[in-house]
Chains A and B, each alone.
Chain A
Amino acid sequence: VATQTFRWVRVHQHQTDFMERGRQLLALLCAAVACVGAVNLWPQPQQWSNGTGTLVVPPTFTVITDSTSKILENAIAKYMNLMFVHEPWEAADKRSAVVQLPSLEILLNSDDETLQLETDETYWLTIPVDGSAAIIKANNVYGALHGLETFSQLVVYDFPSHQNQISNAPWSIADYPRFQHRGLLLDTSRHFESVQVIKRVIDSMTYAKLNVLHWHVVDSQSFPFESQSEPNLWNGAWSPSERYTHQDLLNVVQYAKESGIRVMIEFDIPGHAASWCAGYPTICPRADCKEPLDPSVQDTYNVLHNLFQEITGGSQGKGIFPENLLHLGGDEVDTTCWSTTQHIEDWMSQNNFTTDDAYMYIVEQAHDMVSSFGRYPVNWEEVFNHFGSSLDSRSIIHVWLDHATLAKVVAAGYRGILSNNDVWYLDHLWVPWQDFYMNEPYEGIDDAKQQTLVIGGEVCMWGETVDASDLFNTVWPRAAAAAERLWSPREVNDTEAAQPRLMWFRCLLNARDIGAAPVLTAEGRDAPPGPGDCYAQ
Chain B
Amino acid sequence: MKSALLAVALGVGLSCALGVRLWPMPQAAASGSTKLALRANFTFETEFESPCLRRAIAKYRDLLLIHEPWDFGTDGQGVTTLHCLHIAVGTEDETLQLETDEAYVLSVPDDGTCAVLKAGTVYGALHGLETFSQLVIYDFESHQNILPGAPWFIDDYPRFPHRGLLLDTSRHFQPVSVIQRLIDSMSYAKLNVLHWHAIDSQSFPLESTSRPKLWTGAWSPTERYTKLDIANVVQYAKASGVRVMIEFDLPGHAASWCDGYPDVCPSDECREPLDPSANATYELLTDLLKEFTGGAAEQGILPENLFHLGGDEVNTYCWSSTSRIAKWMEDNNYTTDDAYKLIVDRAHQLVSSFGRFPVNWEEVFLHFGEQLDHRSIIHVWLNHDTLAEVVAAGYRGILSNSDSWYLDYLNTPWQNFYLNEPCEAIWKQEDQDRVLGGEVCMWGETVDASDLFSTVWPRAAAAAERLWSAREVCDTTEAELRLAWFRCLLASRGIGAAPLRNGQARAAPPGPGPCTTQ
- A contacts, CB < 8 Å to B: 85-87, 156-157, 159, 162, 189-192, 194-197, 199-200, 221-222, 226, 234, 238-243, 245, 247-248, 251, 463-473, 507, 510-518, 525, 527-535, 537
Cβ-defined contact, B498 with A518, below 8 A: no
In this complex, how many residues of chain B approach chain A with their Cβ under 8 Å: the count is: 63
A512 to B181, CA, bound (A): 11
A469 to chain B, nearest CB (A): 4
At the interface, yes or no: B204 with Cβ under 8 Å from chain A?
no
Cβ of B118 < 8 Å from any Cβ of A? no
CB distance from B182 to the nearest CB of A (A): 10
> Contact at A527–B451, with CB atoms within 8 Å?
yes
Pairwise interchain contact B499-A195, C-beta atoms closer than 8 A: no
Cα A87 to Cα B228 in complex, Å, equals 7
Cβ-defined contact, A513 with B229, below 8 A: no
- Asked if B79 is at the interface of the complex by the 8 Å CB criterion, the answer is no
A470's partner among B170, B226, B496 (CB-CB below 8 A) is B496
**B488 interfacial contact with A, CB 8 Å:** yes
Residues of B within 8 A of A157 (CB): 222
Beyond A469-B497, A511-B177, A534-B220, whether A241 also contacts B138 by CB under 8 A is: yes
Whole-angstrom distance from the CB of A246 to the nearest CB of chain B? 9
Known A528-B172, A532-B219; contact A510-B492, beta-carbon cutoff 8 A: no
What are 17 inter-chain pairs, A to B, with CB distance below 8 A? A87-B226, A87-B228, A239-B516, A245-B67, A245-B140, A245-B143, A468-B494, A468-B495, A469-B496, A513-B181, A515-B453, A515-B496, A530-B445, A530-B446, A531-B170, A531-B171, A534-B173
B59 to chain A, nearest CB (A): 13
- Docked complex Cα distance between A200 and B219 (Å): 27
Q: Name the residue of chain B whose CB is nearest to the CB of A246.
A: B143
Q: Which of B229, B498, B512 counts the most chain A CB atoms within 10 A?
A: B512
Q: Which residue of B175, B493, B499 contacts A469 across the interface (Cβ within 8 Å)? A: B499
Contact residues in B for A507 (Cβ distance below 8 Å): 222
Residue of B140, B219, B510 touching A533 (CB-CB under 8 A): B219
**Interface residues, chain B, CB within 8 Å of chain A?**
66-68, 137-138, 140, 143, 170-173, 175-178, 180-181, 202-203, 207, 215, 219-224, 226, 228-229, 232, 444-454, 488, 491-499, 506, 508-516, 518
**How distant is the Cα of A468 from the Cα of B449 in the complex, in angstroms?**
14
Q: Give Cα A480–Cα B313 distance, bound, in whole angstroms.
A: 42
Asked, given contacts A468-B491, A469-B497, A510-B450, whether A87 binds B232 with beta carbons under 8 Å apart, the answer is yes
Cα–Cα, bound, A248→B70 (Å): 12
Taking a contact as CB atoms under 8 Å apart, the answer to whether A518 and B448 are in contact is yes
- Residue from the set B143, B221, B511, B514 with the largest chain A CB neighbour count within 10 Å: B514
The smallest beta-carbon distance between B205 and chain A, in angstroms, is 10
Q: How far, in Å, is A234 (CB) from chain B's closest CB? A: 8
Q: Quick one: which of A226, A467, A510, A525 contacts B175, CB cutoff 8 A? A: A510
**Residues from chain B with Cβ under 8 Å of A242 in the complex:** 514-515
Distance (whole angstroms) from the CB of A500 to the closest CB of chain B: 12
Chain A residues with CB under 8 A of B232:
87
Contact B224 A469 (CB under 8 A): no
Query: Which of A156, A189, A247 has the most chain B CB within a 10 Å cutoff?
Result: A247
- The chain B residue with its CB closest to the CB of A511 is B175
Question: Given A159-B222, A196-B494 in contact, is the A528-B446 Cβ separation under 8 Å?
Answer: yes
* Contact between chains at B446 and A194 (CB < 8 Å): no
Residues on the A chain within 8 Å of B499, using CB:
467, 469
A191 / chain B contacts, CB cutoff of 8 Å: 509, 512-513, 515
Contact indicator B68/A473 (Cβ below 8 Å): no
Residue among B178, B450, B453, B516 making CB contact with A528, cutoff 8 Å: B450
Inter-chain contact count A-B, CB under 8 Å? Answer: 184
Are B178 and A472 in contact, with the CB atoms below 8 A? no
Closest to A234 in B: B140
Q: Most A CB atoms within 10 A — which of B220, B224, B509, B511?
A: B509
If A200-B494, A465-B508 touch, does A534 touch B68 (CB 8 Å cutoff)? no
A469:B512 contact, CB within 8 angstroms: no
A196 pairs with B512, CB closer than 8 A: no
4 closest A-B pairs by beta carbon, nearest first, are A238-B514, A196-B494, A513-B177, A531-B171
Query: Would B172 and A534 count as touching, CB distance under 8 A?
Result: yes
Given A516-B450, A527-B451, A533-B220, A247-B494 contact (CB < 8 Å): no
Interface contact B449-A513, CB-CB below 8 Å: yes
Query: Do residues A162 and B226 form an inter-chain contact, with CB atoms below 8 A?
Result: yes
Given A510-B448, A528-B448, CB of A86 within 8 Å of CB of B226: yes
A85 touches B177 (CB 8 A): yes
Asked if B177 and A515 make an inter-chain contact with CB atoms under 8 angstroms apart, the answer reads no
Across the interface, B446 reaches (CB within 8 A) one of A463, A471, A529, A533, namely: A529
Chain A residue numbers with a CB within 8 Å of B448 are 510, 518, 528, 534, 537
Q: Given contacts A85-B177, A197-B491, A240-B140, is CB(A466)–CB(B508) below 8 Å?
A: yes
B177 and A469 contact, CB distance less than 8 A: no
Residues from chain B with a CB closer than 8 A to the CB of A222 are: 512, 514
When distances are taken between beta carbons in the complex, the residues of chain A under 8 Å from B447 are 527-528
Residues of B within 8 A of A195 (CB): 66-67
Task: Tell me the nearest residue of chain B to A521, going by C-beta.
Answer: B450
Residues in B neighbouring A469, C-beta threshold 8 A:
453-454, 491, 496-499, 506, 508-509
Question: Closest approach, in angstroms, between the C-beta of B484 and any C-beta of chain A?
Answer: 11
Are the CB atoms of B498 and A473 closer together than 8 Å?
no
Hey, which chain B residues are within 8 Å of A530, CB to CB? Answer: 171, 445-446
Question: Given contacts A510-B448, A530-B445, could you give 13 more A-B pairs where the C-beta distance is less than 8 Å?
Answer: A85-B177, A162-B226, A194-B491, A197-B496, A241-B138, A465-B508, A467-B491, A512-B175, A513-B175, A528-B446, A531-B170, A532-B219, A534-B448
Q: Which residues of the partner chain A approach B497 to less than 8 Å between Cβ atoms? A: 468-469
In the bound complex, how far is the Cα of B508 from the Cα of A222, in angstroms? 19
Q: Smallest Cβ distance from B476 to chain A, in angstroms?
A: 21
Report how far A497 CA is from B414 CA in the complex, Å: 44
Q: How far is the CA of A200 from the CA of B494 in the complex (A)?
A: 8
B219 pairs with A534, CB closer than 8 A? yes
- Option from A199, A238, A471, A513 in Cβ contact (under 8 Å) with B515: A238
Give the distance to chain B from A126, nearest Cβ to Cβ, in Å. Answer: 26
Question: Which residues does chain B contribute within 8 Å of A517, judged by CB atoms?
Answer: 450-451
* Chain B residues positioned under 8 Å from A247 (CB to CB): 67-68
Residue of A nearest to B207 (CB): A159
A465 in contact with B510 (CB, 8 Å): yes
Rounded to whole angstroms, the CA-CA distance of A86 and B175 in the bound complex is 10
Closest Cβ of chain B to A206, distance in Å, is 16
Give the shortest distance, in Å, between A207 (CB) and chain B (any CB).
13
Cβ of B260 to closest chain A Cβ, rounded Å: 13
Q: How far is the CA of A530 from the CA of B172 in the complex (A)?
A: 9
A333–B203 alpha-carbon span in the complex (Å): 55
A534–B454 Cα gap in the complex (Å)? 19
Residues of B within 8 A of A251 (CB): 68
Assuming the contacts A159-B224, A196-B493, A511-B175, asked whether A525 and B450 have C-beta atoms less than 8 A apart, the reply is yes
Question: Once the chains bind, are B491 and A238 in contact (CB under 8 Å)?
Answer: no
CB-CB under 8 A from A534, the residues of chain B are 172-173, 219-220, 223, 448
| CA–CA, A530 and B510, complex, Å | 25
Give, as a whole number of angstroms, the nearest-CB distance from A196 to chain B.
4
Known A247-B68, A528-B172: A159·B226 in contact at CB below 8 Å: yes
Cα distance A514–B178 in the bound complex, in angstroms? 8
B512 x A515 contact (CB < 8 A): no
Q: Given known contacts A463-B512, A527-B446, is B228 in contact with A86 (CB within 8 Å)? A: yes
Taking a contact as CB atoms under 8 Å apart, the answer to whether B451 and A515 are in contact is yes
Write out the residue numbers on chain A whose beta carbons fall within 8 Å of the beta carbon of B492. Answer: 194, 196, 241
- When distances are taken between beta carbons in the complex, the residues of chain A under 8 Å from B518 are 467
Contacts of B495 in A (CB 8 A): 468
How many Å lie between the Cα of A529 and that of B171 in the bound state?
11
Considering only CB atoms, which chain A residue lies closest to B454 in the complex? A469
Q: Are A192 and B172 in contact (CB under 8 A)?
A: no
Chain A residue nearest to B168 (CB atoms) is: A531
Checking A85, A162, A515, A529 against B449 with a beta-carbon cut-off of 8 angstroms, the contacting residue is A515
The answer to whether A192 and B494 have CB atoms under 8 Å apart is no
User: Which of chain A's residues have a CB closer than 8 A to the CB of B488?
Assistant: 241
CA distance A186 to B453 in the complex (A): 21
Contacts of B138 in A (CB 8 A): 241
